[in-house]
Amino acid sequence: MRTPHWDMRIRSASLLAAPAALAMALLGGCGTTHATIETSRGESLMLLGYDPVAYFTDGKPVRGRHTINAAYEGRTYYFATHEHRSAFAAAPARYEPQYGGFCSNGAPYGVKLGSDPTEFEIRDGRLFIFGDVLGHEFWKLDEAENIRHADALWPKIRDVGWRWQTIKGLVVRVPWYRTGRELKQRWQAQNPGRTLDYDPGGLFENLFLKRPGWRAIEGRGQPALGLPP
């Protein structure tokens, strides 16, 4: 026989579940499918204006110019030189970042969150972008496994808004999911004597108050990249 206390707990849970379900419904499809920002010129800009070709030719992030640009599937890229623009126009899929420019460490878990164009790796001719130094370091713990899982998941999540997909990825976790604490423990075990202190912001802040790339733009725990002119 249920007690009044138990019935109260059920009613309380129901009251909480209703707005939560409504919020989840309203968030369906919410957020861009790729890590873009809207510019004053109405562009959906990738990589905060950094040149996607420069990662391959210069081996470092180089900010492009809005006067040298190209669009691909509705996404705009800026380039440092006309030569880079021509190279991209000839083979855009070769230079686009993997997983929509979102953090490559979140992609293996079905999470589309974070984007810092100064944190990157090139592997087998592919450009991987990370949300911050934490995501970059954690990804390197097992690059091959992370790429394998992310490649398998990406076709299913590619066209889902980043906010909604991230909620799904965090609620319905893949079997190989690892928490940030678990990854940090693994990193510490492999890097004795080193520290990895970085504030990635809270989950609510990253999901509902900010856009992907905000920490890089604003300079949260790192130099501020700002927005391209």
What's the predicted TM-score (pTM) here? 0.87
What pLDDT score does 30 carry? 87
Give the mean pLDDT of the chain. 90
Q: Report the alpha-carbon distance of residue 218 to residue 23 in Å, rounded.
A: 28
What pLDDT score does 35 carry? 98
Question: Burial level of 103, CB count in 10 A (0-12/13-18/19+)?
Answer: buried
What pLDDT score does 151 carry? 98
State yes or no: pLDDT of 18 exceeds 90: no
State yes or no: pLDDT of 17 exceeds 80: no
Domain positions in the chain: 33-218
The distance of Cα 137 from the centroid of its chain, to the nearest Å, equals 15
Q: Report the alpha-carbon distance of residue 22 to residue 91 in Å, rounded.
A: 43
State yes or no: pLDDT of 8 exceeds 80: no
The residue length of the chain stands at 229
Q: How do residues 68-93 score in pLDDT, each as one tens digit? A: 999 999 999 999 999 999 999 999 99
Q: How do residues 32-74 score in pLDDT, each as one tens digit? A: 999 999 999 999 999 999 999 999 999 999 999 999 999 999 9
Q: How do residues 187-226 score in pLDDT, each as one tens digit? A: 999 999 999 989 899 999 999 999 999 999 999 889 999 9
